[in-house]
A and B are shown apart, each in its own frame.
Chain A
Amino acid sequence: MSQPMHYQPTTGFAERARAAAGDPALRRGFRGAMDFLQAKRLAQFPDAGDLSALRDLGAAIRRHALENLPQLLEQLEAKLVANGVQVHWAETPAQANAIVLAIAHRIDAKRMVKGKSMVSEEVGLNHAMEAAGIEAMETDMGEYIVQLAGEGPSHIIMPAIHKTRQQIAELFAAKLPGVAYTENVDELIKIGREVLRRKFAAADIGLSGVNFAAADSGTLCLVENEGNGRMCTTVPRAHIAITGIEKVIARLDHVPLLNTLLPRSATGQAVETYQNFISGPRKADELDGPDEVHLILLDNGRSQAHADLQLRATLQCIRCGACMNHCPVYARIGGHAYGTTYPGPIGAIISPHLLGIGATAALATASTLCGACNEVCPVRIPITEILIRLRNEAQARPAAAGPLRGAGEARSALVSAIFRAWAAVYSHPALYRLVTWAMSRGRVLTPRAQGAWTGIRTPLIPAKKRLRDLLAQRRRQ
């Protein structure tokens, strides 16, 4: 039912991108959805000055957290433990899954309901649970739909954005016993609601992500619209929250500021229906709520990004998805083509730390560097600068390769020779004059087949006369 633990190697990126770009239905779906989301976001930020000030504040909160990360994590842990929450640390996806399994075995759990959690997708949790005989049920409507279809999410906020109403109607009629075909969205949601209410009532474990973890009060903040997140954190005996180590912030009273940025940037809503602040398990006199609450803090390559002063900004992300909603590449190929848990511009800059630079080298090149992502990022991550850095790291000479995992792995002798030659020509004026003279005079020799470029474009052929020649001609006249 779930996607495989390890995502498709990004070596197939070009093929998947080509297939997606050639699928008119998928193109129409994504284009429509992206236009809709862009317009909704814009309507939420009518004042450019206010938006700019808000983004400064959002970036400052996140930068402060990253500059003080080890101290804040220790403070968060101490506060949570004092509140009765059990805190676990995982360096790898395998460790994170082992922690969840150990809890499940201890309380003899057979069924898990899941609120939306990209980190659980990152570690392949569903797969690990199923392998251990534990049912892991997605309960966010979009996640439920893609799980039912045997797919993964194609967007971090709207997982089923690639599916049409008709496809979902067919899916429900085919997969759910006793359900007749209906394209009525209210009816479809009602069907999902009824199926999942039984699952909530019967579940032993509720798993969720975390949007922000406040270190000063030891509070986990989760936002959502559907109420499935609240079900997962309230109904089952045990609640397990899983999150990346970067999600901590210093102060609870900074959550309101981030929560004005997050829903407006993500879906163009002023506020989410539910902001759920969890500070501990049920008390002895309470009649509901989980008996135990766990937090799993996952590294999985994040500390590598943290160790680099430029790449650290990657961790400022609050996972709103605005960068993908505004990306001309994402809009044309959708989320699945990337082959990684996190698609789009944020996926291209975070995935190298999770999977290695070599394995994800194609993603950094899947950008026009237009900078739309930088402009909409609510916490001002300089995404295109980081993309350029990652391109360079992927091509780094083995001797000069830095500490980043997989640096230099995508180095190609031809590409690096071309760029070395390019650099030499552009830094030596005499050589530049000679080469441009030779190219313009020898233009008939230019190959007409120029690889991927001429696949869809006319070939690049030097002009008969260089600008230099034209200017000289004008001076003579």
Chain B
Amino acid sequence: MSARENILARLRRSPAGAPAPLPDVGAWFAARRSDDREALIERFKTHIRAARAEVHDTDAAAWPELLLNLAAAKGLRTLLVGKGTRHGAALAARPQDAVSIIAYSQPAANWRDELFDDIDAAVTTARSAIADTGSLILCPDAQEPRLMSLVPPVHFVLLDARAIHADLHAAMTAENWAAGMPTNALVISGPSKTADIQQTLAYGAHGPREVIVLLCRDGVEL
């Protein structure tokens, strides 16, 4: 018999315990949820700022200039964008000399050292966000690969203010996660951090040191 069969056989022989019905988790979240749009936006901003992310209010027309100004002010020289994205094209179309725009256009293995050592920042979209915990939901794909939100020291995130959910359960339900998950979905609540040395909080452990949210109040064309 295989290990699988042995383990399952042992578990099937276990006696049945007291009834253990599935709890109504949705009701617990629903009872604590308010759907006031402005309140959700404010809660999101408060919570993600508490985790040391920056949030800037902007709109679909103004964000490219804001982002490039922020990048210049932080002394960033290289900015990674997803290949073939509209926001990447919007950035590349603007005249600028301080920051060079680089597209993620080949498999990570082909340019790993450059990706790890030479990219100062990346810009990605967020699929949605969570007010209660101040979190961004990202679903990396072929256009915006997983490492964009992880390897560069600064991560700019474009977020449509209309896509802020109250909590993760609300996001999963509204977006019907159980029906089809991407290979990797991420819920990101601020910059990378650690308190492993004497409980002292330090930012920029292995992921980005800075997370900068550009909150587009009139939606953003993706």
Residues of A bordering B, CB below 8 Å = 33, 36-37, 53-54, 56-57, 60-61, 63-64, 66-70, 73-74, 83, 89-91, 95, 139-142, 145, 158-161, 163-165, 168, 185-186, 188-190, 192-193, 196-197, 200-201, 216-219, 225-228, 230-231, 233-235, 237, 245, 250-257, 259, 267, 270-283, 285-289, 297, 299, 303, 306-307, 309, 312
Contacts and interface: CB of A to CB of B under 8 A. Distances in A.
B206 interface: yes
B178 A217 contact: yes
B172 A253 contact: yes
B43 to A, nearest CB: 12
Contact of A259 (B106, B168, B178, B192): B168
B107 A287 contact: yes
Contacts of A299: 3, 7, 10
B112 A61 contact: no
The 8 closest A-B pairs by CB, nearest first: A227-B207, A142-B196, A226-B205, A256-B168, A275-B187, A227-B206, A288-B108, A60-B23
Contacts of A297: 7
Contact of A160 (B15, B17, B182, B197): B197
A67 B145 contact: no
A245 B199 contact: no
5 contacts: A160-B196, A197-B206, A257-B29, A279-B185, A303-B7
Interface string B10-29: 11111111011111011011
Contacts of A234: 146-147, 150, 184
Contacts of A273: 51, 188-193, 207
B22 A225 contact: no
A274 B113 CA distance: 24
Interface string B40-81: 000000010001000000000000000000000000000000
Contacts of B12: 70
B34 interface: no
Given A165-B200, A256-B167, A256-B172, A230 B205 contact: no
B177 to A, nearest CB: 6
Given A73-B8, A279-B181, A272 B189 contact: yes
A225 B192 contact: yes
Contacts of B133: 270-271
A91 B6 contact: yes
Given A252-B178, A299-B7, A306-B14, A228 B197 contact: no
Contacts of B193: 225-226, 273
B202 A185 contact: yes
Nearest to A313: B17
Select the residue from A70, A227, A289 with max chain B CB neighbours within 10 A. Answer: A227
A57 B11 contact: no
Interface string B133-147: 111000011100111
Contact of A235 (B8, B15, B147): B147
B183 A227 contact: no
Given A159-B196, A160-B197, A233-B184, 11 more contacts: A89-B3, A95-B3, A225-B205, A230-B207, A255-B168, A256-B172, A257-B25, A257-B28, A272-B189, A273-B189, A275-B187
A168 B197 contact: yes
B181 A287 contact: no
A217 B3 contact: no
A160 B183 CA distance: 33
Contacts of B184: 233-234, 276-279, 289
B173 interface: yes
Contact of A274 (B21, B142, B186, B196): B186
Contacts of B93: none
Contacts of B6: 91
Contacts of B185: 277, 279
A312 B17 contact: yes
Given A63-B20, A252-B177, A270-B47, A228 B205 contact: yes
Contact of A267 (B177, B190, B195): B195
Nearest to B27: A57
Given A70-B11, A217-B177, A253-B177, A64 B22 contact: yes
A220 B155 CA distance: 25
A217 B181 contact: yes
Given A201-B113, A279-B181, A189 B186 contact: no
Select the residue from B142, B168, B205, B207 with max chain A CB neighbours within 10 A. Answer: B205
B198 A253 contact: no
Contacts of A188: 197, 202
Nearest to B130: A271
A270 B206 CA distance: 20
A282 B183 contact: yes
